[in-house]
Amino acid sequence: MADDQPQDTSLAVRRKAIDDWLPVTSSRNAKWWYSAFHNVTAMVGAGVLSLPYAMAHLGWGPGVAILVLSWVITLYTLWQMVEMHEMVPGKRFDRYHELGQYAFGEKLGLWIVVPQQLVVEVGVNIVYMVTGGKSLKKFHDVICPDCKDIRTTYFIMIFASIHFVLSHLPNFNSITVVSLAAAVMSLSYSTISWVATIHKGVLSDVDYSYKASTRTGAVFGFLSALGDVAFAYAGHNVVLEIQATIPSTPEVPSKIPMWKGVIVAYLLVAFCYFPVAWIGYQYFGNSVDDNILITLEKPAWLIATANMFVVIHVIGSYQIYAMPVFDMIETVLVKHMNFAPRFRLRFIARTIYVAFTMFIGICIPFFGGLLGFFGGFAFAPTTYYLPCIIWLNIRKPKRFSLSWIINWACIVVGVLLTVLAPIGGLRQIIVSAKSYEFFS
């Protein structure tokens, strides 16, 4: 028995050393406002600029209802995740999959959560590689319309080169400044887009009928727009990892500062999403492009500035979504493959990951079109109803109580999104496939 004790002690020391090295658990001194701008950076993607286009497929009534309902449901499910972070005394669920393992069992929890989380995080990173490259290209084309045309591939490589440097920042707290800059930029380009829309004025022949001319097209466009809305609320995939960076004591558990940050973040999300979606649709109707900045066109300097703001924002967003992936990769390498936790290991692993997302972005620069399809499978579950299923499983509220009814309502809405959005996304891929070009 005495021999076992030193062994247990050395194992505990090794585990603590690994936890102190892994990016999610290495630093726990974040303030509540870190949570606010990390969540804004994670949530308000460049997808906000496509919300007027989604409105053109949804129409006024359903569009307003779906945007507001999604905001309310995802705020509720985010509150549940914040509450569940420390629901077991003396333990913190620092990662989404750890909460899943507690709810569904060690193996099943991993299989339920990790594939969905990876689809979201790796998918978003690839999309942001393409978005960053395309926004750099738009900036170049606007400020220099007479210059020689440069392929998007080169701009994606320029954007990726930034991440080959930034990705070696060790943990969430070390990317705080990057995340703050990204959050400020998302507010800036969202505000530019709706203020510039008001300045341009309502189109003389504005039309609010559905964008598609046929009934079939309208139905599939509606379903695809649901996927766009689900994509807009994807921040839950990194929320536990963000909360893990906040200190926790019995007097002030981490959920108090975290929730304060979430409330501020969600008010900013509303400030970004609703004016862009509704003003953009009101002024341009169904003639709005899938990126409202394209519809605006002028003044050139303002559009160029907004595109550069998008670039800075997706730099921060890429890092926020990449950090949990780095954590998973490094956990496997160190805990399961017994590599020593060294800078060299981290450098090689992260460089390969950034190169992988860059390569896929260059090969498939239309990846955003595929996201409506993939997004329905992973974005809706991890955001809209997986937290509700875990809550019902762990908290076991009384049947037909208010908590039970609300959670089941969220599950029904989320499952409908999961089933319907990929149908619209698949049809969108088939229709657009003619114009898709690999390595373009």
What pLDDT, in 10s, does the model give residues 59-76? 899 999 999 998 999 999
Question: Between the CA of residue 135 and those of 131, 313, 327, what are the distances in Å?
Answer: 6, 11, 29
Share of the chain above pLDDT 90, in %: 36
Sorting pLDDT into bands at 50, 70 and 90, what band is 88? confident
The set of residues, in sequence order, having a beta carbon less than 8 Å from that of 372 and lying 6+ positions away, is 224, 227, 228, 231, 421, 422, 424, 425, 428
**Best CA proximity match to 267, nearest among 327, 183, 328:** 183
> Pick the residue with more confidence: 186 or 232?
186
C-alpha 103/C-alpha 101 separation (Å) is: 5
Residue 163 pLDDT > 60, yes or no?
yes
Q: Which of 11-15, 82-86, 264-268 has the lowest mean pLDDT?
A: 11-15
Q: What's residue 81's pLDDT?
A: 93
Backbone angles phi, psi at 30, to 5 degrees: -70, 150
SS (H, E, C) 242-278: HHCCCCCCCCCCCHHHHHHHHHHHHHHHHHHHHHHHH
Query: Does residue 155 lie in a domain region?
Result: yes
- pTM for this model (two decimals): 0.89
Query: What CATH number should be reported for the domain holding residue 428?
Result: 1.10.4160.10
Residue 87, in any domain of the structure: yes
Q: What whole-number distance in Å separates Cα of residue 391 and Cα of residue 131? A: 35
Handedness of CA 341, 345, 351, 355 (dihedral sign): negative
Residue 9 within a domain: no
Question: What pLDDT, on a 0 to 100 scale, did the predictor assign at position 164?
Answer: 94
Helices (DSSP H) in 201-342: which residue ranges? 215-232, 239-243, 255-284, 292-296, 300-331
Is there a domain that residue 150 lies in? yes
Q: Pick the residue with more confidence: 236 or 125?
A: 125
Residue 16 lies in a domain: no
pLDDT score, position 315: 94
Alpha-carbon dihedral 244, 246, 248, 253, rounded to 10 degrees:
-90
Q: How many structural domains compose the chain?
A: 1
**C-alpha 180: how far from its chain's center?**
16
pLDDT per residue as tens digits for the range 254-311: 999 999 999 999 999 999 899 999 998 888 888 887 778 777 766 788 888 888 998 9
Give how far Cα 149 sits from Cα of 144, 152, 157, 232, 359, Å: 10, 9, 16, 31, 21
Enclosing domain of residue 306: 23-435
Q: Is residue 421 part of a domain?
A: yes
pLDDT score recorded for residue 368 = 63
Pairwise CA distance, residues 102 & 96, whole Å? 10
In a domain, residue 6? The reply is no
Q: State residue 250's pLDDT score.
A: 86
Q: Does residue 44 belong to any structural domain of this protein?
A: yes
Residue 282 is encoded by which pair of tokens? 């009101």
CA-nearest of 130, 125, 162, 180 to 326 is: 125
